[in-house]
Amino acid sequence: MAPYALKLALEAFVDPSAVIASLLCLVPALLTLGYAALCAASPFGRCRRCSGTGKRRTPLTRITRDCHRCDGIGRRIRLGQHLVNEIRREYRNGTR
């Protein structure tokens, strides 16, 4: 009897659209947590300019040179990790 009464109470007081809306509110939070986990696990990403090769072909002469964006490394720091580093640096400078 108790589960049936609980089901009735839930149907009476919880609007299904409210449940859907509250689940949709979780999506940005989960995306943020996922990105934070990605930044913690892998702080560097592939350079977008050279696709991680570190080389760029000049448009006129077709000579390959080191990518200016990543200095030929092919990797860049992720925006989230860059923000974390900035905050840590600011905190360290402020408390020293």
Residues engaged in binding Zn ion (CB under 5 A): 47, 49-50, 67, 69-70
Measured from the CB atom, the residue of 55 and 89 that comes closer to Zn ion is: 55
Q: Measure the CA–CA gap between 76 and 47, rounded to whole angstroms.
A: 5
CB of 35 to Zn ion, least distance (A): 22
CB of 27 to Zn ion, least distance (A): 32
Neighbours of 73 (CB within 10 A): 14
Owner of token pair 């009464």: 5
CB of 44 to Zn ion, least distance (A): 12
- How is residue 33 written in tokens? 């947590």
Q: Measure the CA–CA gap between 90 and 84, rounded to whole angstroms.
A: 10
Measured from the CB atom, the residue of 59 and 94 that comes closer to Zn ion is: 59
